[in-house]
Amino acid sequence: MKLYDSPFAPNPRRVRIFLAEKGLQIPTETVELGKMQHRTDEFRALNPREQTPVLVLDDGSALSESVAICRFIEELHPEPSLFGASPRERAFTEMWNRRMELGLLMTVQAVFRHLHPAMAQLEDQCAAWGEANKPRLLKELAGLDAELTNRPYVAGDQFTIADITALCAVDFMRPTRIPLPEELVHLKRWKDEVSARPSASA
């Protein structure tokens, strides 16, 4: 297998953290988005959507979409479980991962993509949409803070892929130039804790 990976972007980082939590290393090729290396014919043959990460399997087929890659790795290496160990756990882990994705990660990405000057060369920017996502992001963060009042991790008592997605989203607020509101003390406690895991440096 071979992983096509990109620095800085939050989605490839989800897969890197996931692999680190599993204790796995996969041969990696770097695709520099800033140098448009995801827009070459060679890369488009791997993923016509021009997105990283991509995992090329031993039979040559190219698997994209971060969560599809993570789930495939989970099936090959079930321990430690990051998607949940029972049907019920897997259901609620998926619910929380999707809430973190659709609610938090896509919101901060919308602000970044549609407002950051460096993204003008990569995106058809819609500034009104970038602005519309700023209050949505703050609402999502407040909601997550409330959830973390009574439990250690996003999906419950165990660290899961939902924490990985949430951490990549929250850390992506820095290049997006949005500070984490100081009053969100439960979110801050969680962030400090998951950031202290060795995988967070991935």
Interface with its own copies includes 120 (CB under 8 A)? no
Considering only residues 140 to 159 of the shown chain, the ones binding its own copies according to CB under 8 A are: 143
Q: What is the dihedral of CA 129, 134, 140, 145, to 10 degrees?
A: 170
- Judged by CB, which is closer to its own copies: 33, or 200? 33
Whose Cβ is closer to its own copies: residue 6's or residue 11's? 11
Q: Is 94 in the site for its own copies (CB under 8 A)?
A: yes
At a CB cut-off of 8 Å and minimum separation 6, what does 113 contact? 119, 122, 123, 125, 130
Shortest spacing between CB 95 and its own copies, in angstroms: 4
Site for its own copies in 7-66 (CB under 8 A): 48-49, 57, 61, 63-65
Would you count residue 77 as binding its own copies (CB under 8 A)? Answer: no
Contact between 124 and its own copies by CB under 8 A: the answer reads: yes
Residues that bind its own copies (CB under 8 A): 48-49, 57, 61, 63-65, 67-69, 71-72, 75-76, 87-88, 90-92, 94-95, 98-99, 103, 124, 126, 128-129, 132, 143
